[in-house]
Amino acid sequence: MDKTERELLRVRICGNIKDDIRTLFSFCNMTISATPSARRATNVTLDAVLLERAMSLNINISQASEEGLSRAVAAKQAAMWLQDNQAALDSSNAYVEKHGLPLAKHRNF
């Protein structure tokens, strides 16, 4: 688990914020696909041993690179969203700690 993942897991979640964060985490696992016309050739430097292993397993290097980059972009966007909205999350959590969930009396569980 890297630093970003640890920071995302460190957030204290209460009430409906939990659903928003769950959606945010699922977004991190999505891949952002590009249409063929939007593709652009590029050069990357990869670990030689890793590249040989991938090639021996018939892994499509371009596709694997794109999927990994897509996940990295989504994780970075999620971390930035969390950082930008940390004050609101803290405020909401403090409210719930002090007053409880707003509609708790209507819960059947």
What does pLDDT average to in each consecutive run of 10 residues of the chain (109 residues)?
52 49 58 64 94 97 94 94 93 90 79
Q: Is the pTM of this model over 0.85?
A: no
Tell me, what's the pLDDT at 38? Answer: 81
Asked whether residue 43 is domain-assigned, the answer is no
Distance CA 22, CA 29 (A): 11
For residue 73, give its domain range: 1-34+60-101
Asked whether residue 29 is domain-assigned, the answer is yes
Asked whether residue 51 is domain-assigned, the answer is no
Asked whether residue 21 is domain-assigned, the answer is yes
Tell me, what's the pLDDT at 4? Answer: 56
Number of domains in the chain: 1
Asked whether residue 2 is domain-assigned, the answer is yes
Q: Which residues contact 8 (CB under 8 A, 6 or more apart)?
A: 25, 78, 79, 82
Asked whether residue 6 is domain-assigned, the answer is yes
Helix H or strand E encompassing 96 = helix 86-99
Tell me, what's the pLDDT at 91? Answer: 92
Tell me, what's the pLDDT at 35? Answer: 57
